[in-house]
Amino acid sequence: MHANPSGDLLSRLLAALQVLPGVGPRSAQRMALHLLQHERQGGKLLADTLQQAIDRVGHCKTCRNLTTEQQCGVCSNPERDNTLICAVESPADVMALEQAGVFSGCYFVLLGRLSPLDGIGPDDLGFEMLVKRLSDGQVRELIIATNTSVEGEATAHYLYELARPYPVKVSRLAQGVPLGGELEYVDRSTLALSFNNRAPV
């Protein structure tokens, strides 16, 4: 079989591209050939930037969001209200909320949701970090903004139980977010509306 005229390296590139979500053999081939034929400069930049990002992006020590620093841009910003904490499942949710531009508090990123079937329990979601923040008396309100999936609801319930012992108001995004949807794909106005209509639990 002489199917691959540039030998191993091109095959390895095709395989490597398939770690990208939604990219199969066909798209990988299209991407590889596009980069090699028409976008060498862009491909070089992509390789460099990806390398750097993987080396340098870690998690914020306060909110667990992705950051290149010890503390992320939101947590280290004195203009953000750190008495308000919004708990979300993923960095993508933080981006979506920031793009909606309705929230001036801080976040707590769970980096997942309770999902016993996938072996994800309370220990994986950084709850002890959150409890520490709740117990130091500075937090006024915990806004639960997990997804409205089954696991998200379970996680929300767990967060509510977790916060109950502390003198912290607990609220949830208003039901305006469509059920069964992923937060990161909700349109801005719906997101803003549900943020403003958040109801006490």
Distance (Å, whole) CA 6 – CA 29: 13
Mask of contacts with a copy of itself, 115-154, x by CB under 8 A?
----------------------------------------
Please name which of 173, 23, 122 lies closest in space to residue 31, comparing C-alpha atoms: 23
Window contacting a copy of itself (CB under 8 A); options: 43-51, 113-121, 138-146, 190-198: 43-51
Closest approach of Cβ 120 to a copy of itself, in Å? 12
Among 43, 153, 166, 181, binds a copy of itself (CB under 8 A): 43
- DSSP assignment of 133-176: HHHTS---EEEE---SSHHHHHHHHHHHHHHTTSS-EEEE--TT
Distance (Å, whole) CA 104 – CA 77: 10
Task: Report strand pairing: 105-109 vs 66-67.
Answer: unpaired
State both tokens at 53. 């990002």
Closest approach of Cβ 16 to a copy of itself, in Å? 4
Identity of the residue, 100 or 156, whose beta carbon is nearer to a copy of itself in the bound complex: 100
Identity of the residue, 29 or 115, whose beta carbon is nearer to a copy of itself in the bound complex: 29
Mask of contacts with a copy of itself, 44-83, x by CB under 8 A?
xxxxxxxxxxx-xx--x----xxxxx--xxx--x--x---
Task: Report strand pairing: 169-172 vs 199-200.
Answer: antiparallel
φ, ψ of residue 76 in degrees (nearest 5):
-90, 0
Closest approach of Cβ 175 to a copy of itself, in Å? 24
Query: Side by side, which strands form the sheet with 141-144?
Result: 105-109, 81-88, 141-144, 169-172, 199-200
Among 82, 95, 174, 192, binds a copy of itself (CB under 8 A): 95
Would you tell me which residues interact with a copy of itself (CB under 8 A)?
Answer: 1-7, 9-10, 12-13, 16-17, 19-22, 27, 29-37, 39-40, 42-54, 56-57, 60, 65-69, 72-74, 77, 80, 90-92, 94-95, 98-99, 107, 111
